[in-house]
């Protein structure tokens, strides 16, 4: 049975997202204005736009968020850490980084830990959310990814980029919660387009919802 949430409670969980490669500045501006009007948690964009977003959201409670090593996670640790450092310097207050999926699947667990740590260390006071891309992982690999994220000092684990072969599921949220407990929060992202899907993820233990359908979700709640 779904927990009933009012508009303010639901809006406070939404990372209003536009990560398409053809996104233009006027669309990003509109994204920010929608987030401000609805009191969303954050606006999540590609690094190219983070300075514009930070300026647009200045003096609001909406957090400027960007993605690092996105969407494949196969960048070098040096590149990811420098990308994060630059983003924070341009106003990012939340960093969503993609793990090195191939390294994890190959059992290179120390590398995965160090890769996450390199981004955390260069992100300063910004919150770091670690995208583990669940669609490519076994349950055991998901657990290892969550454990590494916690050890590295991240603040969240996140299900998906939205660019993989699958997105967030309530089952994965529950699995991730069983590993991180209350030490880390969970962001559900990837394929969340309806109010029912968003509520299911929150009921399963997610604290944030990454979606490009935030307006439609909120409007559905108000109907």
The residues near 138 (Cβ < 8 Å, ≥ 6 apart) are none
- Residue among 90, 129, 142, 187 flagged as catalytic: 187
d(CA 44, CA 36): 13
- Residue among 158, 172, 185, 200 flagged as catalytic: 158
Q: How open is the CA angle 165-17-193, to the nearest 5 degrees?
A: 60
Closest CA to 39 of 66, 57, 25, 51: 57
96 is catalytic: yes
Long-range contacts of 177-184 (CB under 8 A, 24+ apart): 177/204, 177/205, 179/142, 179/143, 179/146, 179/147, 179/150, 180/146, 180/149, 180/150, 183/150, 184/146, 184/149, 184/150, 184/154, 184/155, 184/156, 184/157
20 is catalytic: no
- Residue among 96, 115, 172, 200 flagged as catalytic: 96
d(CA 179, CA 7): 30
7 is catalytic: no
- Number of Cβ within 10 Å of residue 75's Cβ equals 18
Are the beta carbons of 3 and 203 closer than 8 angstroms?
A: yes
Are the beta carbons of 190 and 164 closer than 8 angstroms?
A: yes
Catalytic residues: 96, 158, 187
């Amino acid at each position: 049975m779904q927990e009933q949430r009012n508009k303010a409670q639901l809006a406070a969980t939404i990372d209003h997202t536009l990560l398409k490669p053809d996104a233009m500045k006027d669309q990003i501006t509109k994204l920010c204005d929608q987030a401000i009007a609805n009191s969303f948690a954050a606006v999540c964009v590609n690094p190219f736009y983070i300075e514009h977003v930070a300026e647009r959201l200045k003096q609001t409670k909406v957090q400027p968020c960007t993605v690092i090593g996105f969407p494949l996670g196969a960048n070098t640790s040096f590149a990811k850490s420098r990308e994060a450092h630059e983003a924070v310097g341009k106003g990012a207050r939340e960093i969503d980084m993609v793990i090195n999926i191939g390294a994890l699947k190959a059992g290179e667990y120390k590398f995965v830990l160090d890769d996450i740590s390199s981004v955390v260390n260069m992100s300063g006071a910004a919150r770091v959310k670690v995208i583990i891309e669940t669609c490519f992982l076994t349950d055991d690999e998901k657990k290892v990814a969550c454990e590494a994220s916690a050890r590295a000092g991240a603040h969240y684990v996140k299900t998906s980029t939205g660019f993989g072969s699958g997105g967030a599921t309530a089952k994965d949220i529950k699995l991730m919660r069983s590993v991180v407990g209350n030490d880390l929060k969970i962001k559900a992202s990837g394929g969340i387009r309806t109010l029912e899907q968003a509520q299911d993820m929150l009921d399963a233990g997610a604290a944030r919802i990454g979606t490009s359908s935030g307006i439609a979700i909120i409007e559905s709640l108000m109907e």
